[in-house]
Each structure stands twice: as structure tokens, then as C-alpha cells.
Chain A
Amino acid sequence: MKVRGKVFRYQDNVDTDVIIPARHLNTSDPNELAKHCMEDIDKDFIKNVKQGDIIVAGKNFGCGSSREHAPIAIKAAGISCVIATTFARIFFRNSVNIGLPILECEEAVKGTEAGDEVEVDFATGTIKNLTKDKIYKTQPFPEFMQKIIQAEGLINYIKGGSHEF
């Protein structure tokens, strides 16, 4: 499983209030949410983002509220993967649960700038910065996590499996 796209670069402690401000939480429609994704820290994000693009950020990405609307908005905006130094724990769970791939890799974060072209292979945990011709290795996704992402989320994955409700 591979993705490839252009990088949007952010700093430390990007919180869920800026990923999707609460004033837009009166809907749970992914496409509506995507229209406002990142607008409080990067007004141009939604104008410029293309399907497959990648967010790269510093530590504690997704801190704050538990709103699943945050990874939903990022995913619906077309982002194929988020790479950060660390993730806030609820955001981490939520991303896995809705099938948004996320990776922790400090080296890749340090070596990547906005606009770089990056390719990620989840099965091997390889992050390639094609612009800078650099390769970074991180933990590959465990098989179950790859399956959750392929199933587009935890509930579909559970439904398709042997888990009993």
C-alpha cells in the first residue's frame, strides 16, 4: 500500500480546534467539514490541496478535543497520510479508526519542507522524499492496521471479520 503527494508542512501542537473549528461541528458531513479544514491556521490549504497530498507536522499533532471530525475533515480534503513527530493520543486512535494513515517519524519531519514530493509505503514503513532524494524508515503498519485502512475504518473492518457483536 503506497501513497504519494505534495507536502503541507505545519509546526508543533496543531490542535483539533484549528484542524476543524467547533463553529463547523453542527454537521458530520465529511465534505462539508473538509471545506473548513485547517482554515484557522492556513486559509490556502483547502484551495491548494489535491487528492493524495500529505501533511507533515511536528510534535503532538491533533491535540485537544476528541472530535473525530478532525481526521474525517483531513481525509475528506484528500490527504492520504499525516506524518508527525508525535500524535496526541485520541487523534491517533480516531485516525486509525476512520482509516486515515498516520506515521510517527521525527527524521522525516526534520528533513521535509512544504511543497516536497513524498511517497510512503505503509507495508515497509518507508518514507521517500522524492524532491530531496532522501529515504527514511519508520515502523511499518501492522497488518490489522493496514486492513482497517483498506476497509475504510474500524466498523467496516469489524463487520467484515469474525468479531462478534
Chain B
Amino acid sequence: MGMTMTQKILAAHTGLEKVVPGQLIEADLDLVLGNDITTPVAVNEFNKTGLDKVFDKSKVAIVPDHFTPNKDIKAAEQCKMVREFACRMEVENYFEIGEMGIEHCLIPEKGLAVPGDLIIGADSHTCTYGALGAFSTGVGSTDMAAGMATGKCWFKVPSALKFVLKGKPQGWVSGKDIILHIIGMIGVDGALYKSMEFMGDGLINLSMDDRFTMANMAIEAGAKNGIFMVDERTIEYVKEHSTKPYKVYEPDEDAVYDKVYEIDLSQIRPTVAFPHLPDNTRTIDEVGDVAIDQVVIGSCTNGRIEDLRVTAKILKGRKVKKGVRVLVFPGTQNIYLQALKEGLVEDIVEAGAVFSTPTCGPCLGGHMGILAKGERAVSTTNRNFVGRMGHVESEVYLASPAVAAASALTGKITDPDKIK
């Protein structure tokens, strides 16, 4: 019985020829990641060990991105604690405001994740780096602490679902629509404890930004990780961003998958997840009349340059609907700068939208765009749980940047094709 991509990476990091689903292993880590919410808890746990250094200061990354720029005194205290820890441990990959970004946009951009890596992060969307052919998964703060202390983490080897992609997405359809379609199909626990492995001829039609978006939301189907087969486009991205050595793993021909799904990308329509679960999806043609109060474009899911290009393309020369608040968040400082150079920021601001510094803020109802009772938002983020973006009686509709930007112009959820 052959191994999946995920199983091969886990075996290689455990020094084993072979691993099988269900096997408990202790694997070596290439990167341990945390943010300003999860790292304080990890620091408390780490301090209990009495250690005065982390296992490898080049293999720890800390990014204060959730409640930053500090939203209140308590958040400021947490960031201070994290900053002091990073300084004391001489963590090489600590990114302060001004050089930071939303962690899952920043880490690949900084070249800290490459094919074949094994990465844990105290943030559920750590699965994003699977887009690069790495095994990366979200864990909690105690795992982060133990990882920083030992450079190791225990795992139960997962079985896997295989997604064979074919065809080419049409019109405004992007990685966001594809992953929402898949989550709608298999459910929020459809991949529970499993890997989601993406491959097939259709891969060539997906940009790296599309793939980051898709791998990012693997957790919304309950998956342990999402991982893409490495191709020329991946290698090109890695060479542009990293000098780290990398290794490409492909599944064995006789790798065993629990289930195989064939997805024809040409058949996917722009897709929206209605409240209050990411699997509550409808195509744009089935949405009906949904009036909105706010639009959020950004986050670790959709804060990359292509997302901003699509947004600017739709908003350019038009005005957002009076009374609708439109907030745009670039993923990193570099993406911000690129958007400036390309004139995207001008298009977005002239249309009447806000252009912010990078932060996770509104996605999790932290700050910078909280919803009041009864308000509705269309958001390019990843979760639409009860109270996720503010009041417990507010609503979040998840969509692509194209649908979000089109909706900004009309004040209701709108097919971008209908914008004339």
C-alpha cells in the first residue's frame, strides 16, 4: 500500500520508511508559528519548562496580527508580552508592525514555507502552506510551547481525500468559489481528521493565490491539512521567495484514499456561504435578494494581490452604494505597496471604500469593522459562525473578492457579471 503526499512528508520527518493511517508518530518540525492571541498562552506554558532558549531560533515565527495595531490596553499588554518573549529568545522571525502582515500571507512571502516542510502553527489557518506542497497544520498554544521547546510534535497519521481537479474556472470564478463549493459538497466535518490532497490537470489553471485560498479553508471542512501537488508554478513561486532547500513529494501510484472526488472547475459558479456555517453554500444564481450593510475584503483567505486586483477592477470608476461600509485589508506590507504601485489603492479609495493596514481584526470580530445587532456583511474571510464578526444576531456571508466588490456597488449580494 503506497503513501499519500502527507504521509510521505510525515514519514520523512520521523525517520521512517513508511507510515500508515492511525499510526502515532513524533515528527521533527521545520517551523513553529504563533500570533498575538495564541502566543501569550504558549509563553506561559513554555516558561513552566524553565528553558531559556527555543529549540532553534530560526525555526520559530511570531506574528502579532490579530488585535494589532493594538486595539485596547489588554491587547497591548498581550503584544508586549509576545514581543519581550521574542526578543529574549532571539526569535529570528518576529515581525513587528510596519514589517508584518497577516501571518498566512506573510510566511510564504518571506520564504519561510517551502515544499516538503512540516509546519505547525497556533492558528487554525496554518493549513494555508499546503498550497506549496508542505504539510502544515493548526495546533493549540500548548503544542506551540512544546514545539518551541523540543522541535517536535506528535501526530496521528491521517488518511486522505483526493480531489482531482480538471478544466478551467470560468469568468469571475476563483479559488474561493472552488473551496466553498467543495466545503458545501462534503460538509464542515467532511474531512474531519483527514488530509485533503489536490491534484489533476486543472491545477495549471489555478494561480498560487487561488491555491493559498483553497488550502487555507481546508480546516473549514475539518481537515488536518490541505495539500497541493507541486508544479512549475509552485517552483517558480518558491524560487522567487525563498533560498531554503525544498523537497517535492508526490503520492505513490498505489496511494490509498478514503474517497476520490473529481471536480470540473469549468462547471463551478460564484459561490456564497450563508450563515452560520461555511458549508451552507448556494451558487450566486440561487442567492436571491440579500441586502447588506458591510463588505470586508481581505484576511488570510483573500488578502493577496490578485484579490485586490479583482476588487479594484470591479470598483474602478464606480461608487460603492450609499450607506454600505466597504473595508479592504491587504495581507502584508508588500502587498500593500504593490497595490499602491499598481494604482489599485486609488481605484478602491476613489470608489468610496476604506483601505486599511494589514490586520485580522474584522474577520474574527476583534476590531476594525464589528457588526451591530441585525447587520449583515459579505466577507471574503473564512468563517460565518454565530457572532463571528460582532453581535450574536449579526450575519456573515462568505464570498470571493469579485462577489464582495460587486455587492459593494449594489448594496446586496450580487453576481459580478451583472455589473455593467
Contact = CB atoms under 8 A, between A and B. Distances in A.
Interface of A: 13, 15, 17-18, 21-23, 25-28, 40-41, 59-60, 63-69, 72, 86, 88-90, 93-94, 97-98, 153-156, 158-159, 163, 165
Contact of A69 (B41, B51, B222): B41
Interface of B: 37-38, 40-41, 44-46, 48-49, 51, 66-67, 71-72, 74-75, 78, 121-124, 126, 138-143, 145-146, 149-150, 188-189, 192-193, 219, 222, 224, 277, 364-366, 383, 385-388, 392
A63 B193 CA distance: 12
A88 B221 CA distance: 10
Given A67-B38, A90-B139, A158 B78 contact: no
Contact of B224 (A13, A65, A89): A89
Given A68-B38, A154-B146, A40 B386 contact: yes
The 3 closest A-B pairs by CB, nearest first: A94-B140, A26-B74, A97-B142
A23 B365 CA distance: 6
Contact of B40 (A28, A59, A64): A28
A28 B78 contact: yes
Contacts of A27: 74, 78
A90 B124 contact: yes
A79 B40 CA distance: 23
A139 B44 CA distance: 32
A94 B37 contact: no
B83 to A, nearest CB: 15
Given A17-B365, A23-B366, A89-B222, 11 more contacts: A13-B189, A15-B383, A18-B387, A66-B122, A66-B139, A72-B41, A88-B192, A89-B192, A153-B45, A155-B48, A159-B48
Nearest to B187: A60
A23 B362 CA distance: 11
Residue with the greatest number of chain A CB neighbours at <10 A, chosen from B40, B124, B126, B139: B124
A163 B41 CA distance: 21
A89 B140 contact: no
Contact of A17 (B40, B71, B126, B383): B383
A141 to B, nearest CB: 15
Residue with the greatest number of chain B CB neighbours at <10 A, chosen from A27, A28, A158: A28
A25 B38 CA distance: 9
23 contacts: A15-B383, A23-B365, A27-B78, A28-B40, A40-B392, A63-B189, A63-B222, A64-B124, A64-B383, A64-B385, A65-B364, A66-B121, A66-B122, A67-B38, A68-B142, A86-B189, A89-B224, A94-B141, A97-B140, A153-B142, A154-B142, A158-B49, A159-B48
